[in-house]
Structure 1
Amino acid sequence: MSLGPFDRRTRRSRCITCAATHSKCSGSTPCTRCQTRGLECLFPSPPQSKGAVIIKLDRAKIHTPSTFQPVRPQNPLPYVTAGYLFYFDLFVRTNSFTGREPAFIADVQHLMKTASSNLSPHHPSRSLFNAMLALGAMQAHDQGAMSQHNNLSFALRSYHHSVVDLRSAVSNFSPSRRESIAWTTFFLGLFELLQDSSGQKWLQHMVFGTAQALVASGPAACRSGGMRTFFVQARTFEACRSIIFNQPSFLSNPDWMSLTEKVCFSSTNLSGILKMVVLCSSLRVRTAEFTRAACPPVTTTLDSLQLSQAFDLALEGFNLRQSLDSWKLNTSPLPESQDETLLSLAYYSATSIYLSGNYDYDMAHWQAIGVAVPILSADQIEEHFDAIVATVKEALKGSSLSPLLFLFPLRVAGARAKLHWQRDAVTDLLQRVRRKFIVADAMLEELRELWTRTVQQKLSSFYCLDS
């Protein structure tokens, strides 16, 4: 074995012949053993030292003493930046989107290793860094901390810088930037939900940012690695977006459904119910198109093709109803996943009512064409309403689940709230959500308009009957 650069031995202690036969060598020249046997005795010459070689194992680079430079430590983060990153971490941990530990933090931290305070302004991760700071500043403002730094102004500046940097990253897109861009759009969307009461800016980030990032990546890119973690987090938001706005989602595509079964903890309660949320949303879009085209108020006659479509839509609804009932029977709440169980139960009741509404809001059309549909009775709807109110109240009181996740079940419950106490219960819960996310204002306003129209319709019907 050759000697290392720092080995103090100038030569081998054995001659070449003794070393080859693993024999003891006297070390003299010639050695006693070789002299006795009449063998040529040679000792290896010491290695030629042209300058010691230093191997820096952690980076696998070779340096000489003249070129070796110690690693320069990174500048520590400024106090304000470190503080807002702390509150970003707190925001994430108190706004769980899956009911589980936020495992994605490790992936985000990996992306941010180079995005420190001495990072160049045009680094692709800079937009993600600023989005995190914006959320951290909003969390600090909510906590009443770091008030001397004007948190809201800092948050808005960081948000603006993130948007500008994001546009630059998208314009100069490369596959290595995919994860950073995806997380940036996700965090910017969350910031909009904290700031924008209309919800339209969040919708833009979700539809044209987060969802497009996933679609452009494709299911194959989300099977492992950082994009898998991102998909697990973004999936709940995409499902809620599609069902709240009655819009189709790419998640209903068979390839994405197959991916969901493989990577999204398919054995958990939440994954199963989210799958049905997406399928119910897709069914609602197609059912609405059918009732508008095939069931105008002036006629109840359908051709054979339209009647076949009606039966297919009804059958799909019955299959989903059976899947929901089966999910409920097979649900096994686990103590270690109590938050996930609360969210799953709230979504189960909301999806059950939503599926019924897919048909009972147009019940006159289905009755006119003589097609049975999977609707719930008034008592069943009331039971689900009570379950939504109870689970959401418990979750908002003592879980780490994000209040955003309950906009969908509260919107569904609010649409079925007929009595004053029911409307007061929904309003109270939405007000609690609003304390954190101002976007709840849009849902409160929408429900108030719905309740006002309902009262006016009842009064109009009463006066018509009276006359």
Structure 2
Amino acid sequence: MRRHAGPLDKRKKVTRCQSCSKRRIKCEGGFPCEYCTRTKKQCHPPGPSPREIEFVIVDNSKRPDYQKLASPALFPRPNESLYLDYFALFVERCQFTRGFATVSSDLLPLISSSRPLKDLALAIGALEASRRGSLRTYRGADSPQVASFGFYGRSIEAFQRQIQTRQGIEREDVLWTTLFLGIFDLMSENSGDGWANHMSYGVSRILQAVKPADDPSPLKMTLLDAFKTLEANRAILYGDGSFLVEESWSSHLPGPITHTPDTMHSIIQLMLEVSGFSQRFFEGIESIASDDRPFHPLISELSVDGCRLHAKLESWNSETAPRRDESDPYIKLTLAIYHALVLFLSGNYGYYSCWEGQRLPSLTLFEVESHSKTVLSLSVSILENSNISGSLILFPLRVAGLYSTGEQHREEILGLLGRIQRQGFNVAERIRGDLQQCWNYQESESSLLRMIENISSLEVEKLGYNTSSLHRREVVIPNDNIAGVDEYSHRNYSLVHNVPLCVLIVRTEMGKEYVEDSYSGNLTIPKGSLDKAAEHSTSLDHNVFLKDGEV
């Protein structure tokens, strides 16, 4: 009977007992063996072979070359299939469109045949694994995060070689690679600039070079749908236009991939329109000298166009309301975008004071607060009850944050942005920083407004006017910008030590405004914080306000 060595037994496999081995004859096996039984000798099993001792000198200053290690069971190499699993997990829980849920499985043929796309999928998967902290690494091996950037670099190199030819640009995997390069930047960068560049100079340029297809494949329709959504968010966050508003493209871009109502498709189109208008709005006004703005024909044109866009948004809301399933997370996303667009469009007009006599898409304080709180409520529901990517609500949260006033409201918005960052999108940190900087500025401005209003009220009441019955009070500051001292003011004040100002008492008759009285003087702001200055009201010389007559 043959004796078998175990799988971990490192001894030399033999079949002879010691007696047979000494006599150098064949041993039939068994114990005792047939020969020892017949010759009445003691049968001893074969002994272990002498163990060799090997001394190894290890230089810890050098990383081991794992290609030369002879024991892969003890030192396993990174499992690429595991990173691909994490890539699929990321795509499943961070959907950019309805059709994105099955992208990881639909892309398998492309991933297996495209080196740049596979490396990029590995990069995203490794980055996702590092965020979850669910992989342990052996000593000296790259962490998943380090491995992620290694895969990313390999993908970039292979991708650059691939797009050197026209045939390479037209390949479908090239478009997917460019899209996921932008998504990787959303995950790995705080600034978001890499994502914006990949969208502007990557997918956009390639799509424009290829031209829209009349009959795209289902997978390409999914890509175009995701690209349109991300491009609209990029354009409006960066105050930029997009080639997608061009008729040649808007007519070829896919509508809804599923049979659900096309509210998402239509609100994204409105998002692109508002973004393009916003770019034209600011570039146009800044190109006109401040003294010429009130009389320039472009001002009237921007007023009309803004009201038209506002009416278009309201029309979208009323027309889609009867067929909206408001329990659907994608419907909630469209509503969050709608409320944010209304706030965004109206708020742009508050940066300038050249709208006298113009009809504007203005909102009351109650409407502003209502839109902002609705965005917050919808965003909470989206993040808690769906797999929609948190990056798609960065714009609504940023706009809602700009118009939030209560401390609790602001804390909730910051909490949601932190949650989006933990979801894997570091760009949320930039939105947090922008909002906190804006809130600090608003607090400073609010302190200055309170100081000016207190002085104005005191001096006006000295003259016997009932301040509550006045149409409004205005303060003129050195840069010729006029700001109403009321709850609707959105002015950018020059925070200087001495502020020459003029208080205007305005009355309204037959729809026209008349300056009834005006007072000019010099407002001295003590050095230090404005809040501290507000506490020391005695430092403000109320006697400097003397009647100047009509202005």
Q: Which TM class, normalised by the smaller chain length? A: 0.7 to 0.9
Distance 1:248 1:91, change over 3 A: same
Partner of 1:135: 124
Instruction: Describe the superposition over 1:106-134 as per-residue Cα deviations: whole angstroms up to 9, x where unpaired.
Output: 542221243xxxxxxxxxx2111100000
Shift of 1:398: 2.4
Shift of 1:141: 1.8
In the alignment, residue 226 of structure 2 is paired with which amino acid? Answer: Q
In the alignment, residue 193 of structure 1 is paired with which amino acid? Answer: L
Distance 1:155 1:227, change over 3 A: same
In the alignment, residue 396 of structure 2 is paired with which amino acid? Answer: P
| Aligned equivalent of 1:447, options 411, 435, 441 | 435
Which moved further from structure 2: 134-143 or 237-246?
A: 134-143
Shift of 1:334: 6.8
Partner of 2:279: 285
Q: Give the greater-gyration-radius structure (CA).
A: 2
> In structure 1, how many angstroms separate the alpha carbons of the residues matched to 2:392 and 2:200?
17
- Please state whether the residue corresponding to 1:183 is helix, strand or coil: helix
In the alignment, residue 130 of structure 2 is paired with which amino acid? Answer: H
Partner of 2:330: 340
Partner of 1:259: 252
| Aligned equivalent of 1:417, options 390, 404, 415 | 404
Distance 1:328 1:268, change over 3 A: closer
Structure 2: where are the runs of 5+ without partners? 1-76, 456-539, 541-551
Q: Is residue 130–residue 161 contact of structure 1 (8 Å, CA) maintained in 2?
A: yes
Distance 1:447 1:252, change over 3 A: same
Partner of 1:271: 265
Map residues 391-406 of structure 1 onto 2, 5 A cutoff: 391-406=378-393
> In structure 2, how many angstroms separate the alpha carbons of the residues matched to 1:97 and 1:391?
17
> In structure 1, how many angstroms separate the alpha carbons of the residues matched to 2:350 and 2:97?
31
> In structure 1, how many angstroms separate the alpha carbons of the residues matched to 2:91 and 2:263?
22
Map residues 166-185 of structure 1 onto 2, 5 A cutoff: 166-174=159-167, 177-185=170-178
Shift of 1:101: 5.2
Q: Is residue 222–residue 257 contact of structure 2 (8 Å, CA) maintained in 1?
A: no
- Percent of paired sites with the same residue: 27
Partner of 1:463: 451
Shift of 1:262: 4.7
Distance 1:242 1:176, change over 3 A: closer
Partner of 1:432: 419
Partner of 2:28: none
- Please state whether the residue corresponding to 1:174 is helix, strand or coil: helix
Q: Is residue 310–residue 371 contact of structure 1 (8 Å, CA) maintained in 2?
A: no
> In structure 2, how many angstroms separate the alpha carbons of the residues matched to 1:185 and 1:234?
10
| Aligned equivalent of 1:236, options 229, 232, 252 | 229
Alignment of 1:87 with 2:86, yes or no, is yes
| Aligned equivalent of 2:342, options 341, 344, 352 | 352
- Please state whether the residue corresponding to 2:79 is helix, strand or coil: helix
Instruction: Describe the superposition over 1:251-304 as per-residue Cα deviations: whole angstroms up to 9, x where unpaired.
Output: 11122222236565694221121111111111111122232234x43245425x
> In structure 2, how many angstroms separate the alpha carbons of the residues matched to 1:285 and 1:222?
32
Distance 1:225 1:434, change over 3 A: closer
Shift of 1:172: 3.2
- Please state whether the residue corresponding to 1:171 is helix, strand or coil: coil
> In structure 1, how many angstroms separate the alpha carbons of the residues matched to 2:235 and 2:78?
41
> In structure 2, how many angstroms separate the alpha carbons of the residues matched to 1:134 and 1:206?
19
In the alignment, residue 373 of structure 1 is paired with which amino acid? Answer: L
- Please state whether the residue corresponding to 1:112 is helix, strand or coil: helix
Q: Which structure has more helix as a fraction of its residues?
A: 1
Shift of 1:399: 1.0
| Aligned equivalent of 2:156, options 163, 173, 186 | 163
Map residues 317-332 of structure 1 onto 2, 5 A cutoff: 317-332=309-324
Shift of 1:209: 0.9
Distance 1:373 1:260, change over 3 A: farther
- Please state whether the residue corresponding to 2:239 is helix, strand or coil: coil
Instruction: Describe the superposition over 1:17-74 as per-residue Cα deviations: whole angstroms up to 9, x where unpaired.
Output: xxxxxxxxxxxxxxxxxxxxxxxxxxxxxxxxxxxxxxxxxxxxxxxxxxxxxxxxxx
Shift of 1:87: 0.9
Q: Is residue 236–residue 275 contact of structure 2 (8 Å, CA) maintained in 1?
A: yes
Q: Is residue 163–residue 169 contact of structure 2 (8 Å, CA) maintained in 1?
A: no
Instruction: Describe the superposition over 1:184-212 as per-residue Cα deviations: whole angstroms up to 9, x where unpaired.
Output: 11112111111111111122111111222
Q: Is residue 313–residue 338 contact of structure 2 (8 Å, CA) maintained in 1?
A: no
Which one scores higher on RCO, CA 8 angstroms, separation ≥ 6?
1
- Please state whether the residue corresponding to 2:212 is helix, strand or coil: helix
Q: Is residue 185–residue 205 contact of structure 1 (8 Å, CA) maintained in 2?
A: yes
Distance 1:321 1:401, change over 3 A: closer
Partner of 1:26: none
- Please state whether the residue corresponding to 1:197 is helix, strand or coil: coil
Distance 1:427 1:222, change over 3 A: farther
In the alignment, residue 220 of structure 2 is paired with which amino acid? Answer: M
- Please state whether the residue corresponding to 2:171 is helix, strand or coil: helix
In the alignment, residue 263 of structure 2 is paired with which amino acid? Answer: N
Q: Is residue 285–residue 299 contact of structure 2 (8 Å, CA) maintained in 1?
A: no
In the alignment, residue 171 of structure 1 is paired with which amino acid? Answer: Q
Instruction: Describe the superposition over 1:70-120 as per-residue Cα deviations: whole angstroms up to 9, x where unpaired.
Output: xxxxxxxx8711111111111100001114552433542221243xxxxxx
Q: Is residue 100–residue 339 contact of structure 1 (8 Å, CA) maintained in 2?
A: no
> In structure 1, how many angstroms separate the alpha carbons of the residues matched to 2:91 and 2:125?
9
> In structure 1, how many angstroms separate the alpha carbons of the residues matched to 2:222 and 2:294?
50
State the 4+ residue runs in structure 1 displaced beyond 6 angstroms.
none
Distance 1:310 1:238, change over 3 A: closer
Partner of 2:191: 198
- Please state whether the residue corresponding to 1:102 is helix, strand or coil: helix
> In structure 1, how many angstroms separate the alpha carbons of the residues matched to 2:112 and 2:293?
64
> In structure 2, how many angstroms separate the alpha carbons of the residues matched to 1:79 and 1:318?
54
Q: Which structure has more strand as a fraction of its residues?
A: 2
Distance 1:112 1:310, change over 3 A: closer
Partner of 1:55: none
Partner of 1:10: none
Q: Is residue 238–residue 249 contact of structure 1 (8 Å, CA) maintained in 2?
A: yes
Q: Is residue 390–residue 420 contact of structure 2 (8 Å, CA) maintained in 1?
A: yes
